[in-house]
Structure formats: structure tokens, C-alpha cells
Amino acid sequence: MTGANAMLAAATPLLWVRIFASALQVVAVAVGGPLLLGLMGKVRARAESRIGPPITQGLADLRKLVRKEAIRAEHTSAVASLAPLVLLGSAVVASAVTPLLTTSTIITGGGDLFVVVYLLLMGSVALALGGLDAGTAFGGMGSSRAMTIGAISEPALLVAILAMAVQAKTSSLPGIVAGTLAHPAWLTSPQWILALAALAIVVIAETGRIPVDNPSTHLELTMIREAMMLEYAGPDLSMVTAGEAMRFALLLGLLVNLFFPWGVDTSRSVAALLIALVALAAKTALLAIVIALIEVSTAKLRLFRIPELLAGGFVLAVMAVTAGLVIK
Amino acid sequence: MVAYLTGLCAAVLASLLGLVLPPRWRVRGSGILSATACVFSMASAGEVLASGNSYSLHTSLLLPFTGADLALDPLSALFIATTAVVGFSVSLYTIAYAAHTPNNRALVATQPAFLATLLLVPAASSVATFMIAWELMALTSLIALLTEHRERPETRDAAQWYAAMTHAGAAFILLGLILLAARTGEQSFASIAASRPLLSMPIASAVFVLTFIGFASKAGAVPLHVWLPRAHPEAPSPISALMSGAMVSLGIYGILRVDETLLGGGKLWWWLLVVAMGVASALFGALHSSASADLKRLLAYSTVDNIGLVLIGVGAAGALLANGQRILASLALLAALYQLVNHSLFKGTLFLGAGAVQHATGTRDLDQLGGLAARMPLTTTLFAVAALAICAVPGLNGFASEWLLLQGLLHGFAAHPAVTQAAMLTGVAALALTGGLTATAFVKAIGTGFLGQPRTGAAESAREVAPSMVAGMAVLALGCVVLGILPGLVVPALDRAASAGLAGGAPNSLASGLGLDLTSLKSAIEPGQLAAGLLAVVTVAWGGLKLAQKRAGFYRPRRTEAWGCGRELQTPRMEITATSFAEPLQRVFADVLRPNHDLEVTHIAESQYFVEAITFHRSVDDAIERVAYRPVISAMSWWGRLARRVPNGSVHRYLAFGFVALVLVLAALT
Amino acid sequence: MTLGFSLDLVELASGIVLATAVLTLWRKDLRALISALRIQGIALAAVAAALAFYIGDAGIGFVAVVVFAVKGLVIPSLLARVVRTDPGSREADPLINVPASLVVASGLIVLSFLVAGQFTGLLSDPVTRLAPLGLATVLIGFFLLVTRRKAISQIVGLLLVDNGVALVAFVLTAGVPLLVELGVSLDVLLAVVVLQVLVAAMRVRFGHLDLDQLRELHD
């Protein structure tokens, strides 16, 4: 048993502290998601010598959409109204249980990495079903592509998690984060770096960024995630957009915390939480800027080249696991 | 035990009633009696599972020479309980299903008989009893499969495949068990387990290989699965549900009972073989189910995939036990059994749902369906619950068992030989890809079959099915929800079954609930908390938005036309079909699926530069069947043709056969 | 530089050797292949250098310098020159497509780990534990040789095999005898020079480097 885990087990803080911390995480992700996307848009615009919309544009859009009238396509069923709710709900619950700011979140024992994966899968399934509900050509096409990419990114994702969990001897996220805080040497070990590279590829694919998907395109034949959202308007669209932004911020936050956990609160004081908030904002913003700069300089892959990318992610993950077994 | 026997007798009686009662009473009388039989069996099995007691019974009445042996321990009780739950819903469902079927006597009579044999097999506790029960199950299921052969000629082809595979499998099991009984000199399971030291390792391995082939063919593991995607779709839907929800599980039961508890765990390579077959089944089944456009074929391949997951868990448990990791082995086996129980629940619902769809529309081709959500809301909801459960959406049962399976494999990494670790790694990778593919397959099934607009008149005019059919589905779907939110209800029972399923027993190490507290296992989740949180968020978001809408003066969502790419009219012909939904995946995995393409271009008579019609046809058939089975079949039919030439109707020739044979026998005797 | 750090460096550099091997299967652009090879050569040299420090043997340090010069600088530059004459050339249509190759590669990695597990002695010492990485590099090199069509890819495959063998030798024997390594390196250099001449001749005569299309010569 590692010291960090013993420490984690020793003091489980009061329920209300954990609820507060989780609520703070949800708010941070909900506000941070649109801001991060706005920041990336800004960086891309500047790199392309444009001025671009302000960073807070995403939040303003959400505010506008919520006030609009709800419009649904005819022939849609309850799925069309449920899908945005489930997408948003899964993102909220996932951000409540992931140790973004603190290692003691609302769920007893803390979030589990597999649980976060399956919560996100739940959101994807909801979005894909929503895309099929109106019975239009593009919605279905988007669902089909998104599910395909999701399916082939899954092995890389879970094997990468396996590599980390074998290192940390648990798949519980707080356990992993506390472990890396106690053993900084893990972070430079080959298995950790390889697993993170694999995770990064999957995160790019799951959030639909370049080179897998281009979130700013509405060019009909190349859309993936956007195609599933075409039929949403008003409040529904606001939930879908917010949900997608939250997923993005959550995955980015997860990635930085797995690679660079410093700043995450383990002492459970309010001051530490605030420091953690600032640290998280800085870390994710930095990563978002890097991603934006990479996006500016790369082209989107053809749909049928994406398996190559994800298979590469899978090899990286397998290498991570074997490296973990070879190097002790 | 008394309740169990009462249940068994009630099921047999229900079958007889179905045979003799006049049509007016037949369906209801037999159905209610068969449901009662399930309640009795359930009560008996539930008592064993809750208390951990074992019962046994020997009677010299039923079978000559050996007598019949029946025993209930937690492992068999788990399978009986699962069968009883599935059987209960199927019995309810059959009442309305059969009432709308002409010539329903065969179905009404065979369904309880099949159910009775399914309840009997796990309780059989001697070689003779087990083989008799097993053969009765094969026979009743074959008859049940054939009940609709008048309506669909394809059924006969399916039945031939099924009969051939199931009897070959039974022959393997028989050989294995005879070898086992001969070498130990015992025939009741308890004494065989006691005299296990008499077995040498090569003999034990031979028994393992023989029985594993037989049981794996019943479980539908790749490459012995070929009968499954034929038989499940062609059987009447209640029978498909029983086959997939209960019969296939008995293959796993056989592996656990004979290869694990009777043979005592054995060698590491046995279980690595099981994991390898599990990985192959999981991937192959998931790929085919995501490529399928026939709803029941999709479900059948998904059964292959789920059995693969269970085999991965069973194999991991065996491998861990062979390495001496008793606690981890019991965790992996618990996960496998959980997955198996869940599979019975959601696959039962799904097959009954597919039956309801077929009943209402007359087709099971997803490309011909669509828009059923508005027309069959209850069926759609129940089907969707089960489909989401099988996709392992948190809050439903599939998630709980898949998570546990992942934990089992992850912690199995602690076991040392590098081969075991590689097996665990492969298992995780297979589990992951399978999970993604399953989600794709079932998003396709719901999205193209039930959502959108109806593509044909048959789907357009579909109506909700009768209440008893809905009730049948609802019982199982409710099970999916309950086992998803409160895994603590079943985990202790599963734990008892898992320790009964491991050679030498295992410590009851797991506390109730998924708050796993094993040494070196610190992960914990609370599916109930997750589901509650999710529900709370969804409700709050929904309420908040409603409020915001009201404040802005909007009361109901306005309905407008969907965006039709600039066209005026949005027709169902523009919808994506199940086949096109699966197209990207088919392209990615073309090396494994090997789809057949057929492009025909018809030119108009005057000029070859103008095209009159283009037909494009694509189908995905089973590559394993084509490569491994077709050559065998053609060789056999060649042999058959050859042999047919010998008897030409001449009496002299027939007499000559007898004469030659007699001379040869005498020559051999001298 | 402490002992622990030099061990970390050995591990990291060996990891890079394998990672670059995988990269050669991943990328189709021949220039990327050469860059991967160059990085691999440098990483191999780093393995030797760190080992020299870890064991405290100046001889291996000299080997490191030679490896760096031959495998990190000379050979990649020679190959890069061949590729430069035919810019934009790609391994367009390998016999086994890229995703399948990558899945096979992960299988090969697991296999070499399994094989090394058979010799439990290998897994006790922190340095000899790294042998599977070298073995996997050898296997991937062979796989590249078998499944790629372009002559350059095949040369790269050959070099991967050589680098893998060198890595295994480094970690198992804690540095091959100096002379052997030098001899092998020079041999390989010679082979590459010969192949380069051949490739140039092929281009002059046939205008392409696709080995599959050379089968006609056989008749």
C-alpha cells in the first residue's frame, strides 16, 4: 500500500465539504468550458491574423439560446428532448466526481476512471440517438461516424487507463492523482508518458477536434459531431453546446491533472480549493492554447485515415502497459 | 427442493395442458401454469442463494441402473433463478403471442417443456442425469425452433445447422464425461469431485478439451457459434429469448461445473484457451452485430459477443486460480456471473421486444422499420432500456457488471506469469472494443428501427402489442434497472455462486454492494449515487428550462419541419438506413468482415452510354462459416453423393453387402 | 548525473527506440520514416552513453560515439539523400494497411514481453528487463521488411532489425565487446551504401522504387 493511498483513506472529510467541492468543480467546468473554447477560437483567429470573437462569446451565446423559443423538428420523439438533458447531465455528474480541484469529491471513495469513461459514453450515446431522431440524412450520418470513431477509440482509452491503473494499483481517480502527487517520478516514467500520449489522441477524437473533426465547419460532407446537433435550436441547443463544452473542459482538466497534478487540493481547506481553481484554469488554458496552435497548423484527416490515428493510440497504450511490466 | 420439484412438475404439466386442451383454454391455461412453475423454482433457488445451503436428492425411479441425482447448490441455483425469471416473462409474453398465432399448439406445448429442461439441467448432479437432461434440452429446443417452419422455410435450414451442431457438441460432452466417469469409477458429481486425485493430468486435459468443445458450442463461442445467428432469428421470439437468455448460459454452467469444480481448476493453459476463445467471440460477435441490419440477427451476434465477455471473465478466474490467486479469481468469476445474469435480463427483453416488433410489422429488417417510437411507445421504451443496459450506460445493470469485469482484469495483473498478464491485457482491449461496437450496434437498432419516420407501410401501420406481451418485457426490463441501481441486492448471492463455482471453494470476501474492499482493491463506485445524481441534474435542468421558457412566454415547443438540405420535402427515403449506418464500421473492419459487394449496371437498349438501372447489393456473411464449415459440408455432401451410387435398387447388390460383411467379420474374428 | 538518473535515461531512451520503430509503421511519408530512424539512432547512442555511465565503462562510451555517428548521422543522411531525389514519395499502399499493422505491432510487443518472461532471469536486473523492447524493435523491423513495398522502407526495416539487436546486446551484456559493435556498425554502413547505389541504379533504369513491380525481372 502506498503512502498516498493510506493518507487518502485516513481522512474522509465531511459530506458538506465534499458537496461544496463537487459543486465548485461543476461550476468551474460549466463556465470554463465555453471560456476555453472561446480562448482557442481567439488563439486560432490571431494566428490567422483575424481578430476573432471575444473569449466570452460562448457564454453570451448560451445566454441568448436559453431565452429563445424551444423548437423541435416534426416526427421527433421524446429522445429529442431527453438527449440534450442526458448529455448535459452526464457531463455534470462526470465533472462532479472527477478530481479536478480536490481529491475528495461527492461520491464516497471518489470517482473511478472507468466510471468517467462510461459517463461520457452515455453522453455520446444520447447525442447519437438524438441525431437519428429527426430522421434526416445528416443527423444519421453524423451519428454513424461519431459512433464508429467512438468505438475504435475505446480500446486505446481503456488500455491507457489500464496502464495508469496498474502503476497506481487502483483505477480510482483520487487514488491515481494522490499517487502521482506522492511519487512525482511516475510522471516521467515511460509508461506514464506513453499512456498520456494515447489518452491525448483519444481526447482529441472524443471531443471532435482537428485532425479528427473540425468543430467550426458546417460543410455537410465532413461534419461529424456538428451533424448530430443540426436539428437542435433554442434551449435544447444551449444544453447540447454546454454539454459538449463541459465534456471538452472535463477531458482537458483530466488530462492535465493526470500529467501535472500539482495544485489539486488534498488538504480540503477553502483556500486550497481556490488555489486549485486558479491552478486548474492556468493549466487547462495553457493546454488549450497549445492545442489551438497545433490545430492551426494541421489539416483534418480524411474519415478513413482516422483509424490509423486511433490504432496508433492503441499501440502507444499497449506499449505503456508493457513498459509498466518491464520497468519497475 | 420441494418447491423446485413442484415447479418442474408444473412446467411439465403446462406442456401437457398445451398439448391436450382445446384452443380456447390452451394458451392461457398453459401460460399461467408455466409462469407459476417459474415462481416455484425461483423461490427454491432464491432460498439456496440467500442461505448458501445445498440440497441433494437421489431416486432410483426415473432412470434405470443408475437412478436420477438432483442437487441444488448456489451455483446451480443461480442458473435456475435466472432461467426462472426469464421463463416467467416468456410465459406471460407467450400468452398474447400465441393467441395471435394460428396453429399455436406446437408452440404452447413446447415452450413449457423447453423451460422444464432448462430448469432441470443445472440441478442434474450425476453423469447420467446430466446427459439425459442435456439431450432433452437439445430435443425440446429443436422442436421449439421448428414450430414456425410452415411460415418461414428458412427455419428448416436453421434447424439443420442447430441439430448438427448441438448433437456434435453433446457427443463431445458425452465422451468427456464418460472418460471422466470411467477413470474415477464414479458417476455422481460429488463422488467424482472427491476422487479427483485418481485422474492423471493428461486425462484431465483430455476431459477438459472434450467437454469444453461441447459446452462452448452450446454457449455459441467462436468458432463454434455458427448455429446461433441462424437459430436465434428463426425461432419464435419467446423461444429466442429462452435460448439466448437461458440455454446459452448453460454452456457456461457446464464449463464451470465440469471443468472448474469437477476437474479442480487444472492447468493454466486451459483457462488461457478459454480467454482466447472469449476474446475471439467478443470481437467477432460485436463486429457482426454492429454490421447487421436484421434485428434478431443483430441480437444473436450480440449474444455471441456477451458470451465472449463472460468467457473472458471465466477464463481469467480459472487462470488466477491456477496461479493461486483465490480472492482475485472469485472476483473475476463474480463479474462473469453478474454479466451472465445481466445478459439474460437484457437479451431476454431485447428478443421479446424484437418479437413484438415482428408481431406488429411482420418484418425484422431494420431497413424496413423506423418511426416505431410514436406507434409502439411501451415496446420502444422497454427495448431502449435493455439496449442502453447492454451498452453499459451507468445506472443500468450492464455497467455494473462490465465495471466489475474490468476491475477483475485490472487486478488480475497482480498475478505473475507474463502469459496471464498478457491475457488480462488482451481481455481489457477486447472488452473495450466490444463495448464501443455494442454501443454502435444498439444505437443503430434504436435509431433506425424505432426513431425517425417509418420507411414502409408495415412500419407506418404498426400498433402497440397486447398487455401481456408488454408485461413480459417489463418484468425483465425492470430487472435491468434494479440490478443496475442496487447491485448490492445480488452481489452476495453471486458471491456465493462464484465460490461454489471455483474448485475448493473461495473465501466469501466481498462485502455487499460494490463498495469492494479487497486487499489491494481500493476502487469503489456507487451506481445508485451516480444514477440519483444524474436524475437530479436532469430534473433540475429540465425544470429550469421549462421555467425560463414560461417566463419568456413560450408554453410548448413549436414543431417545424426538419432541415432538409434546402429541399422542400423531407421524406423517409432520405433517412439513414441501418445498412448505411454500419457502412463506416464495415469499411474500417473490412479485413475481418469481408463484405460481399455486387454492382449491376443495366444499360438501356439503344446505347451503352445511358444507364437504365444500377443495383448495388452488399451483404456480410459469416467469414468463419464460409472458411471453416462450408468445405466440410461440401466434402460431406460429396461423400453422400458417392455413397448414394452404391445402392442402385438391385436386390442382389443388397444381399451381396450382407454377404461381404459377414465374410469380413468372420475373417476378422479368426 | 546520478546512477538513478542514468538508469532512468537508459529506460527512456530504450522506450524511444521502440516508439520510433512503431512510428515507422505509422507514417507513410518516407521522409518521416528517415526522421524516425535518425531519432532511433540517437536514442540508441543515448542508451549506450547512459549505460557507460551506469556501469562506469569508458569503452561503451566510445561505442556510444560511434553509434551516434553511424546510426544517428551518416546512415540517415545517406537515406535522406535518396529520398530527396524523389520528393513526396510515400509508402502509399502497403501490403497490410496501417491500422492493421499497428494492431499487429502491439501484438508483437506483447509477444516479445512474453518471450522475455520465459527467461525469468531477464526480469530481475533493472537493465536486462529492457531486453523485450529491443526484441520488439527487431520484430517490428522484420514486419516492416515483409509488408512494405518501397525499397527505402525495406532498408529502414533492415536497420530497425539491426538497431533492435544492438539494443538487446547493450542491455543484456551491458555493452557488447567494442570490436564486435564497431564491426557490425561498419558492416551495416557498407550495406546501406551498397543498397543506396542499387536504389539509385533502380531509379535510373525503372523510374520507381516499388519492389513488387520488380517481380517481372524474375522471368
C110 vs B425: CB contact, 8 Å cut-off?
Answer: yes
- For the cut 70, the answer to whether the pLDDT of residue B511 exceeds it is no
* 8 Å CB contact of A93 and B582: no
| Total number of domains constituting chain B | 3
Low-confidence ranges of chain C (pLDDT < 70): 1, 86-88, 117, 119-124, 174-186, 190, 193, 197, 200-219
C167 Cα to chain B: minimum distance (Å): 21
Residue B485 has pLDDT above 80, yes or no: yes
Considering CB atoms only, which of A190, A312, A314 is closest to C11?
A190
The predicted structure's pLDDT at residue B99: 86
In whole angstroms, give the CA distance from residue B593 to residue B625.
12
Residues belonging to chain C: 219
Note the pLDDT of residue C207.
62
Same domain, B400 and B367: yes
| B276-288 confidence digits (pLDDT tens) | 999 999 999 999 9
- Contact across the interface for B419 and C117, Cβ inside 8 Å: yes
Burial class (CB in 10 A: 0-12, 13-18, 19+), B110: buried
- Residue B513's pLDDT is what? 41
- CA atoms within a 13 Å half-sphere pointing along the CA-CB vector of B287: 25
Write out the residue range of the structural domain in which residue B183 sits.
Answer: 1-264
| Interchain contact, A171 vs B370, CB within 8 Å | no
Residues of A in contact with B328 (CB under 8 A): none
Taking residues B99-122, what's their average pLDDT?
90
Task: Give the pLDDT score at A167.
Answer: 83
Q: Residue B610 domain-assigned?
A: no
- CA of B255 to nearest chain C CA: how many angstroms apart? 27
Using alpha carbons only, how large is chain A's radius of gyration in Å?
Answer: 19
Compute the mean pLDDT over every residue in chain A, rounded to the nearest whole number. 86
pLDDT at C145: 85
Report yes or no: A14 at the C interface, CB cutoff 8 Å. Answer: no
For residue A182, the one-letter residue type is A
What's the rounded Cα separation, in Å, for the pair A180 and B664?
81
Contacts 24+ apart (CB under 8 A), B596-599: B596/B620, B596/B621
Minimal-distance CA residue of chain B relative to A148:
B585
Q: Do residues A293 and A164 make contact, with C-beta atoms less than 8 angstroms apart?
A: no
Chain B neighbors of C100, CB-CB under 8 A? 591
pLDDT of B518 > 50? The answer is no
C114: nearest CB among B419, B588, B591:
B419
Domain containing A152 equals: 3-326
Q: Who among A76, A112, A148 is closest to B440 (CB)?
A: A148
- Select from A162, A310, A315 the residue whose CB has the most chain C CBs within 10 Å, as the one to mutate to test that interface: A315
> What confidence score (pLDDT) does residue B100 get?
81
Phi, psi of B58, deg, nearest 5? -125, 130
Helices and strands in chain C, H and E counts: 8, 0
Is the pLDDT higher at B32 or at B563?
B32
Give the lowest-confidence range in A235-249, B319-333, B360-374.
Answer: B319-333
In this structure, are B354 and B458 located in the same domain? yes
Q: Does an H or E element contain B603, and which?
A: strand B596-603
Given an 8 Å threshold on Cβ–Cβ distance, is C12 in contact with A310?
no
Beta bridge partners of C150: C210
| pLDDT beyond 90 at B427 | yes
Are residues B453 and B324 part of one domain? yes
> What grid cell was written down for A241?
453546446
Over the stretch B178-228, which tens digit does the pLDDT of each residue have?
999 988 888 889 899 888 888 888 999 999 999 999 999 999 998 899 999
Neighbours of B208 (CB within 10 A): 25
> Scanning every residue of chain A, which has its alpha carbon at the shortest distance from the alpha carbon of B551?
A67
Contact B415, B407 (CB under 8 A): no
In a domain, B546, yes or no: no
Q: Which residues, other chains included, contact C105 with Cβ-Cβ below 8 Å and sequence gap of 6+?
A: A315, C22, C25, C140, C143
In this predicted model, what pLDDT tens digit does every residue of A101-126 receive, in sequence order? 887 777 655 567 888 888 999 999 99
| Chain B: touching chains (3 or more CB pairs < 8 Å) | A, C
Nearest CA to CA, how far is A71 from chain C (Å)? 42
CB-CB: which of C8, C19, C113 is closest to A326?
C113
Distances in whole angstroms, Cα of residue B314 to Cα of each of B119, B451, B507:
22, 37, 17
User: What's the ipTM?
Assistant: 0.92
Chain C contact set for B588 (CB, 8 A): 99
Percent of chain B topping pLDDT 90: 49
pLDDT number for residue C181: 65
Spatial CA neighbour of B115 closest among B221, B12, B268: B12
Give me the total of CB pairs closer than 8 Å, taking one residue from chain A and one from chain B: 269
Q: Is the preceding omega at residue B487 within 30 degrees of 0, hence cis?
A: no
| Whether B257 and B339 share a structural domain | no
B195 and B272 together in one domain: no
Residue C44 in grid coordinates:
540508441
**Chain C: touching chains (3 or more CB pairs < 8 Å):** A, B
Residue contact B426–C110, C-beta within 8 A: yes
- Tell me what the mean pLDDT of segment A200-224 comes to: 81
* In a domain? residue B480: yes
Distance from the B311 Cα atom to the nearest Cα atom in chain C, whole angstroms: 21
Verify whether the Cβ–Cβ distance A308 to C113 is below 8 Å.
Answer: no
Q: Is B459 on the interface with A (CB under 8 A)?
A: no
Please indicate whether, in this complex, the C-beta atoms of B515 and A77 are within 8 angstroms of each other. no
Q: ω before B153 within 30° of 0 (cis)?
A: no
- Which residue type occupies A27? V
Residues of C in contact with A318 (CB under 8 A): 106, 109-110
**CB contact (8 A) between residue A67 and residue B552:** yes
B255-282: average pLDDT: 92
The separation between the first and the last C-alpha atoms of chain C, rounded to the nearest angstrom, is 61
Q: Is residue A266 within 8 Å of A4, Cβ to Cβ?
A: no
- Chain-chain contact of A147 with B432 (C-beta, under 8 angstroms): no
- What does the radius of gyration of chain C's CA atoms come to, in whole angstroms? 18
Interval A180-185 mean pLDDT: 85
| Angle between helix B295-322 and helix B201-219 axes, rounded to 10 deg | 160
Return the ∠ at Cα B448 (arms to A204 and A146), rounded to 5°.
5
B654 assigned to some structural domain: yes
**Interface contact flag, B419 C116, Cβ < 8 Å:** no
**B283 and B180 within one domain:** no
B328 & B188 share domain:
no
Cβ atoms of B110 and B141 within 8 Å: the answer is no
Closest CA to B449 of B374, B391, B349: B374
For cell 541504379, the residue is C201
Check CB contact under 8 Å for A5 and B407. no
pLDDT range class, residue B382, cuts 50, 70, 90: very high
| pLDDT for residue B277 | 96
Residue B231 sits in the same domain as residue B372: no
Does residue B519 surpass a pLDDT of 70?
A: no
DSSP β-ladder status, B558-560 and A71-73 = parallel
- What percentage of chain A's residues is helix, strand, coil (to nearest 5)? 75, 0, 25
The verdict on a CB contact (< 8 Å) between B422 and C116 is no
Chains that touch A (3 or more CB pairs under 8 A): B, C
User: What pLDDT does A3 receive?
Assistant: 39
Contact between B187 and B65 under an 8 Å Cβ cutoff? The reply is no
Between chains, do C117 and B425 touch, taking CB under 8 Å as contact? no
User: B with C: how many residue pairs have Cβ under 8 Å apart?
Assistant: 16
Interface test with B, best of C101, C104, C113, C119 (most B CBs within 10 A): C113
Within-domain flag for B565: no
Considering the domain architecture, whether residues B588 and B662 belong to the same structural domain is answered as: no
Name chain B contacts of C117, Cβ cutoff 8 Å: 417-419
* Average pLDDT across chain B, whole number: 88
Q: How many domains does chain A have?
A: 1
Output B559 or B565, whichever has higher pLDDT: B559
Q: Above 80 in pLDDT, residue A218?
A: no
Bridge partners (DSSP) listed for residue B59: B68
Q: Is the peptide bond before C126 cis (omega within 30 degrees of 0)?
A: no
Residues B76, B67: Cα–Cα separation, whole Å = 20
Q: Does A325 touch chain C (CB under 8 A)?
A: yes
What three-state secondary structure class fits B164? helix
From the list A311, A316, A327, which residue is nearest C98 (CB)?
A: A311
User: Which residues in chain B have Cβ-Cβ distances shorter than 8 Å to C110?
Assistant: 422, 425-426
Beta bridge partners of B615: B600
The pLDDT tens digits of the residues spanning B406-419 come to 988 888 887 777 88
Residue C145: CB atoms within 10 Å: 16
pLDDT tens for each residue of A92-101: 999 988 888 8
B580 touching chain A per CB within 8 A: yes
Beta strands in chain A (DSSP E): 71-73
Residues ≥6 apart with Cβ < 8 Å to C81: C196
The per-residue pLDDT for B487 is 81
Among residues of chain A, what percentage have pLDDT more than 90?
43
The whole-number pLDDT of residue A7 equals: 41
pLDDT, mean of residues B484-498: 84
- Asked if residue C64 lies in contact with residue C49, where contact means CB atoms within 8 angstroms, the answer is yes
Question: Which DSSP category does B71 fall into?
Answer: E
Name the residue of chain B whose CA is nearest to A97's CA.
B530
Residues B311, B184: one domain? no
pLDDT at B429: 93
Per the listing, cell 473495450 goes with B432
pLDDT for A10 beyond 50: no
Condensed to tens digits (0 to 9), the pLDDT of residues C114-123 reads 887 676 555 5
Instruction: Note whether B195 and B333 are same-domain residues.
Output: no
Question: Is B651 near chain A, with CB under 8 Å?
Answer: no
Q: Is the pLDDT of residue B306 over 90?
A: yes
